[in-house]
């Protein structure tokens, strides 16, 4: 099953994804997309909180750019793959080669998902519910995030919006 979990910052997306993975029958592979920035103490603290919350038995792959490749390599009917988070991945790619690289990687991801067999949980931040941001790069990020989530929602079996820790199933079977 392919699932997309969206929500705002601190909405409970990752906790829900981790709960669903724990309930799955298979080996869990956690793909973290954050590009580690050693001089950002707040980001290092966020990463540490995520690591501390995850079971030690879960495999961890840190992949800020080649997401489709990481998913493909770890795809198995017996595995449950969590990708956390799509919007960090998007940020990493938009800053490379004026965003052209993102189009290639997004196409690779969408293509892979059409053929994907197994359990996949994608986590992303919903950033389109507020005002249109000032600044060209901020608007590009918001626009591309919305387009990416729409394309992923179209190929996922279940789409969940998470607010205040409460999941609302937008597409697919409910809990």
Of residues 43 and 172, the one with the higher pLDDT is 172
Annotated binding-site ranges for GTP: 7-14, 32-34, 51-54, 62, 84
pLDDT at 69: 98
Structural domains of the chain sorted by starting position, each given as residue range(s) with its CATH number in brackets: 2-163 (3.40.50.300)
Statement: residue 140 has pLDDT above 70: yes
Catalytic residue chosen out of the listed positions 6, 21, 30, 50: 50
**For residue 44, with 0-12 CB atoms within 10 Å meaning exposed, 13-18 middle and 19 or more buried, which class applies?**
middle
Place of tokens 């879960």: 58
Q: Residues 24-50: pLDDT tens digits?
A: 988 999 999 987 666 778 878 877 887
Q: Would you place residue 78 in the very low, low, confident or very high pLDDT band (cuts 50, 70, 90)?
A: very high
Task: Based on the residue annotation, tell me whether 50 is a catalytic residue of this protein.
Answer: yes
| Residue percentage of the chain with pLDDT more than 90 | 73
């Amino acid at each position: 099953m392919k699932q997309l979990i969206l929500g705002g910052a601190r909405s409970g997306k990752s906790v829900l994804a981790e709960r669903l993975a724990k309930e799955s029958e298979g080996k869990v592979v956690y793909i973290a997309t954050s590009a580690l920035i050693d001089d950002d103490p707040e980001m290092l603290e966020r990463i540490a909180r995520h690591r501390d919350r995850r079971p030690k038995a879960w495999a961890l792959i840190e992949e800020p750019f080649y997401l489709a490749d990481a998913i493909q390599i770890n795809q198995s009917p017996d595995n449950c793959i969590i990708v956390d988070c799509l919007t960090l991945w998007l940020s990493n790619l938009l800053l490379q080669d004026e965003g052209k690289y993102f189009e290639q990687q997004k196409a690779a991801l969408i293509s892979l998902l059409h053929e994907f067999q197994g359990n996949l949980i994608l986590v992303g931040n919903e950033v389109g519910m507020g005002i249109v941001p000032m600044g060209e790069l901020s608007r590009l990020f918001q626009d591309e995030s919305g387009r990416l989530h729409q394309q992923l929602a179209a190929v996922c079996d279940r789409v969940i919006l998470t607010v205040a820790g409460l999941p609302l199933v937008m597409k697919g079977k409910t809990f």
